[in-house]
Structure 1
Amino acid sequence: MADRPYPYRTALITGASSGIGTAMARQLAARGVSLVLVARRETVLRDLAEELRHAHGIEVAALPADLTDTQQTARVAARLTDPDRPVELLVNNAGSGGSGVFANLPVDLEEATVQLNNQAVVRLSRSVLSRMRAAGHGGVLNVSSLTGELPSPSLATYAATKAFLTHFSETLAIENRGSGVHVTVVLPGLTKTDYFASNGLAPAWVPKFFWLEADQVAAAALKAVAAGTRRCVPGVPYKAATSLLPITPRPLRRALGRYLWHR
């Protein structure tokens, strides 16, 4: 990230206790941005908040919450609507999903994926957009996935929620054009985070240069929302691949998704 002042002075990051969320928190803290960190793991979250306060002398609040729970999501939304503590950048990074044949997966976990990846994002985004539009300044950064660009056997619900998130974000970007509010969606490819390891989804055949670092994704995403870029695809291989997807026949997309994820 460049040395010039970052355009947002305060940010709320969901899923801040690991992976891309933690990388974003550290990069924003290094720029002097005050933070509200949201995640389920309270101890990890509070340790990160203390680390960033000590390292950068900024205000960092830890707000433990499970966004698969509507009441806890409402509590985070209430923090976003606090007129005395406005948040200039909302980062919807929290996300999860099980893997396996959909018919064999626990329905409660699949519904929780929809709640976390989509419903919580809708609620939190709606909480800030009216105020941001009135102020003529603000940003919403949504972390989607290239998984949502293809049919993805073994990841049916997760991929579908990411497809929703991408279209939702791009539509909001159009609606808020000229308002001073930037809405950006970032679509990472394979990234070294807990998600792929915990779900056994790290294809051994993928070349090393296809794997992205969490810091790399975070830096590209934060730069994009600051610049008002609507869609960000980190990594040269993924940029090239996504440029071809719009002209790829649907049967070939299905075959590619089957090749990538079917087990």
Structure 2
Amino acid sequence: MADRPYPYRTALITGASSGIGTALARRLAAQGVSLVLVARRAERLRELAEELHRAHGVEVEALPADLTDPEQLQRVEARLTDSDRPIELLVNNAGSGAAGVFGNLPVDGEEATVRLNSQAPVRLTRAVLPRLRMAGHGGVLNVSSLTGQLPSPSLTTYAATKAFLTHFSQNLAVENRGTGVHVTALVPGLTKTDYFASNDFGPTPLPKFLWLGADQVAAAGLKAVAAGSRRCVPGAPYKLASALLSCTPPPLKRALGRYVWRR
């Protein structure tokens, strides 16, 4: 494993059927990492699994599941606890959230966002962590968002769940220091994925060069978790923005959030 850029033999990726999840899967497969791919879109998942197996000769298992459904979430937990087929890297990438004024959005959808973006990573991480600690080796990469650091009207629940995921990851990183288990929060800014394409955010004042590519984000995240970094913000502009936001007074951050999301 020492000669690999990613020191993992197996990985399970949620939200693998598109965007950052697919980019992560392609990068890991290209390095010979066996994969378990999880997403709701079963047909797309199987097509990706076949594509990666043909291209790289690695074992790729498609595990269709809606992580907002308790029974389907339990199936993924069971796969993570299978000692005969151990997973060395868990990537909690699945996430969603409707855009709009919170009071106008269906409460069931907002609750589903909490289950997918926050509850599912907690349960899946809890499922895999004891075995990783026992082995003294492994990683958990949680795909969060810079929206969790900035008041984000029109993305109220989504941003709140991403703030939770970032703090959850960083606390776990401290708890597991010295165990051989790396926990990393991947905190990208605007990224070209299906999420933004499927939500009508209206015009944004941010220039096009600030949009990150999914592969750029995936590469940064995998490098960070392999190196044991607790937090990874891809892209120089967003690294600077994150640093400035950490010391920006709350009233100014609220004003900035209204400007970015035009609210």
- With normalisation by structure 2, the TM-score equals 0.97
Amino acid at match of 2:24: M
Q: Does 1:7 align with 2:12?
A: no
Note the aligned Cα RMSD (angstroms): 1.2
SS in 1 for 2:140: strand
Q: Which runs of 4+ in 1 moved over 6 A?
A: none
Tell me the residue number matched to 1:248. Answer: 248
CA deviation vs aligned residue, 1:159-192 (integer Å, no higher than 9, x gap): 0000000000000000000000000000110000
SS in 2 for 1:253: helix
Amino acid at match of 2:168: F
Percent identity between the two aligned chains: 77
CA deviation vs aligned residue, 1:111-153 (integer Å, no higher than 9, x gap): 0000000000100000011111111001000000000101111
Tell me the residue number matched to 2:53. Answer: 53
How far apart are 1:207 and its partner, in Å?
Answer: 1.3
1:1-263 to 2 correspondence within 5 Å?
4-201=4-201, 203-263=203-263
Give the Cα separation in 2 of the matches to 1:69 and 1:183.
Answer: 25
Question: CA 1:38–1:55 in 2, change beyond 3 Å: closer, same or farther?
Answer: same
Give the Cα separation in 1 of the matches to 2:45 and 2:38.
Answer: 7
CA deviation vs aligned residue, 1:169-226 (integer Å, no higher than 9, x gap): 0000000000000000001100000111211236443212101000000000000000
Note if contact 2:204-2:260 (Cα within 8 Å) is conserved in structure 1. Answer: no
Amino acid at match of 1:4: R
Give the Cα separation in 1 of the matches to 2:240 and 2:246.
Answer: 12
How far apart are 1:156 and its partner, in Å?
Answer: 0.6
Give the Cα separation in 2 of the matches to 1:222 and 1:5.
Answer: 9
CA deviation vs aligned residue, 1:74-119 (integer Å, no higher than 9, x gap): 1000000000000000000000000111011000000000000000
Amino acid at match of 1:113: T
Amino acid at match of 1:28: L
Note if contact 2:6-2:223 (Cα within 8 Å) is conserved in structure 1. Answer: no
Give the Cα separation in 1 of the matches to 2:257 and 2:155.
Answer: 10
How far apart are 1:4 and its partner, in Å?
Answer: 3.5
Note if contact 2:204-2:261 (Cα within 8 Å) is conserved in structure 1. Answer: no
How far apart are 1:262 and its partner, in Å?
Answer: 3.7
- With normalisation by structure 1, the TM-score equals 0.97
**What stretches of structure 2 of length at least 5 have no aligned partner?**
none
Amino acid at match of 1:88: E
CA deviation vs aligned residue, 1:13-38 (integer Å, no higher than 9, x gap): 00000000000000000000000000
Amino acid at match of 2:166: T
Give the Cα separation in 1 of the matches to 2:70 and 2:165.
Answer: 18
Note if contact 1:196-1:202 (Cα within 8 Å) is conserved in structure 2. Answer: no
Give the Cα separation in 2 of the matches to 1:197 and 1:51.
Answer: 24
SS in 1 for 2:246: helix
Give the Cα separation in 1 of the matches to 2:6 and 2:153.
Answer: 40
Note if contact 1:173-1:183 (Cα within 8 Å) is conserved in structure 2. Answer: yes
